[in-house]
């Protein structure tokens, strides 16, 4: 397919396209630098050091973290969530999470349930995908070690009240992990404004960086509770075979994804220049156009918040008469519209929405570069697709 026929609406999986500066930075690293960071003293190695430093300070600034060493890099959202979850949960602990959470949270917890006698409570959501902070409070137990909450759902787009939940968690002895995979880069996040111990996000979604990048913010002091998932060479304290205690090295063993971090640095600069507030406003307008258009099609059901309030631009739908996979195939083959269909790695979310039996939903996830014309094209296509089914139904 010609790229100009590609209408990419799978930005919740990974954002595309990226800002030109991201491509340029990756290309420049690969062609002109090509050296590891933190290990050698020659010119290109020092350039690599600067790439990592700039990526770290750029992300720190974006989320209001005063100390960039509190930002640890990983390889995807799943990786940094595993670093957080497996690093703090011990045998016999209790963990609270929500039905809205992604398998990147649910599966490590399931594994801990099966191997480490860990118990897990799953806080329910309402019909639009919102969790009540009171239900989080009710789920806490004396041995709750961790509360892991999805900030914005990759199925419904619903944004949870993470500040209020943070206040509740702070009254207990538990640590608070926020999965910001679908929110960082989309909505303003300032870790100074709410109680959070660990905040995890990929660099390749809303942050607009390359695949193979992710960030974990660690609140001061939490490193005493957080065991490293991986140990190995850090380029520091090479005289000892013990993992360093210093941040970020404690959690960053092995060579970095330098091309990815070069791209992430450029992406974060792009986000700073545009401002997250403006990006959020743009996404909200796109979402409004999409929701307004979907409302005109009788056979479409939106699974998630019906208005732009407290939601991101991720919109999940079902269309009467269509299996979501079939619908995705029709949209792509006839019109080049690329969406994801199915359960989106969030099985409990679909159980809660009642969409498991229908094969999940079709997820439309616009990105920063999506245009209003593209949204209109999707609506027009869905109108014609829906009318085919209703015509076939006429006796
Ligand atoms: C809410 C949520 N958490 C975690 C992840 C995992 O991120 P990654 O694909 O970078 O591993 C995703 C990915 O879609 C997600 O939507």
CATH 3.90.1150.10 fits 3-17+275-393, yes or no: yes
Tell me the CATH architecture of domain 20-274: 3-Layer(aba) Sandwich (3.40)
- Residue 391 pLDDT level (bands cut at 50, 70, 90): low
pLDDT tens string 329-339? 999 998 899 99
Residue 98 Cβ inside 6 Å of ligand 1? The answer reads no
- Cα torsion at 260, 213, 199, 50 (round to 10°)? -20
In 3D space, the residue among 65, 38, 67 whose CA is nearest the CA of residue 51 turns out to be 38
Residue 133 Cβ inside 6 Å of ligand 1? The answer reads no
- Residue 108 pLDDT level (bands cut at 50, 70, 90): very high
Please state the atom number of ligand 1 nearest to the C-alpha of residue 214. Answer: 10
Residue 97 Cβ inside 6 Å of ligand 1? The answer reads no
- Decide: 116 and 90 in contact? Cβ < 8 Å: yes
- Residue 395 pLDDT level (bands cut at 50, 70, 90): very low
Q: In the chain, what are the domain boundaries?
A: 3-17+275-393, 20-274
Closest residue to atom 13 of ligand 1, CA basis: 13
Residue 154 Cβ inside 6 Å of ligand 1? The answer reads yes
Sequence-distant (≥ 6) Cβ neighbours of residue 181 within 8 angstroms: 77, 102, 104, 150, 151, 154, 200, 201, 202, 205
Count other Cβ atoms within 10 Å, centred on residue 261. 29
pTM over 0.85: yes
Question: What spacing in Å lies between the alpha carbon of 200 and ligand 1's midpoint?
Answer: 10
Q: What is the pLDDT of residue 388?
A: 80
| Probe target for ligand 1 pocket from 205, 312, 365, with the most ligand atoms within 8 Å of CB | 205
Burial of 383 (0-12, 13-18, 19+ CB in 10 A): middle
- Residue 5 pLDDT level (bands cut at 50, 70, 90): confident
| Mean of the per-residue pLDDT values of the chain | 96
- How far apart CA 245 and CA 256 sit, in angstroms, is 18
Residue 104 Cβ inside 6 Å of ligand 1? The answer reads yes
Q: Where are the alpha helices (DSSP H) in 64-200?
A: 77-88, 103-116, 133-139, 162-170
Which residue's structure tokens are 């079709």? 362
Residue 179 Cβ inside 6 Å of ligand 1? The answer reads yes
Please state the atom number of ligand 1 nearest to the C-alpha of residue 101. Answer: 1
């Amino acid at each position: 397919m010609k790229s100009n026929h590609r209408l990419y609406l799978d930005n919740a999986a990974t954002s595309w396209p990226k800002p030109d500066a991201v491509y340029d930075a990756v290309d420049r690293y690969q062609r002109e630098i090509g050296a590891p960071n933190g290990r050698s003293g020659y010119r290109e190695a020092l350039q690599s050091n600067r790439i990592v430093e700039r990526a770290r300070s750029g992300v720190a600034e974006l989320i209001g973290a005063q100390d960039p060493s509190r930002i640890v890099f990983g390889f995807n959202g799943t990786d940094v969530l595993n670093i957080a979850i497996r690093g703090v949960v011990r045998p016999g602990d209790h963990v609270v999470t929500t039905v809205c959470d992604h398998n990147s949270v649910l599966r490590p917890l399931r594994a801990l349930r099966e191997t480490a006698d860990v118990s897990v409570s799953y806080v329910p959501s309402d019909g639009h995908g919102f969790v009540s902070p009171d239900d989080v409070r009710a789920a806490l137990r004396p041995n709750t070690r961790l509360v892991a909450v999805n900030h914005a759902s990759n199925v419904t787009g619903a944004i949870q009240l993470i500040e209020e939940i943070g206040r509740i968690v702070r009254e207990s002895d538990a640590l608070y992990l926020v999965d910001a995979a679908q929110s960082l880069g989309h909505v303003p996040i300032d870790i100074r404004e709410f109680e959070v111990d660990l905040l995890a996000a990929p660099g390749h979604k809303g942050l607009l960086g390359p695949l193979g990048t992710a960030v974990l913010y660690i609140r001061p002091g939490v490193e005493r509770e957080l065991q490293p998932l991986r140990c190995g060479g850090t380029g520091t304290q090479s005289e000892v075979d013990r993992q360093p205690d210093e941040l970020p090295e404690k959690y960053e063993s092995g060579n970095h994804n330098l091309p990815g971090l070069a791209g992430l640095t450029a992406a974060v600069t792009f986000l700073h220049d545009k401002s997250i507030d403006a990006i959020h406003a743009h996404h909200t307008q796109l979402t409004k156009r999409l929701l307004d258009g979907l409302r005109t099609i009788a056979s479409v059901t939106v699974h998630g918040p019906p208005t732009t309030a407290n939601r991101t631009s991720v919109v999940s739908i079902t269309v009467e008469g269509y299996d979501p996979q079939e619908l995705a195939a029709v949209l792509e083959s006839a019109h080049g519209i690329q969406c994801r269909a199915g359960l989106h790695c969030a099985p409990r979310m679909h159980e809660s929405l009642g969409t498991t039996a229908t094969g999940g939903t079709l997820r439309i996830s616009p990105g920063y570069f999506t245009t209003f014309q593209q949204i209109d094209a999707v609506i027009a296509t869905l109108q014609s697709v829906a009318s085919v089914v209703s015509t076939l139904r006429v006796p």
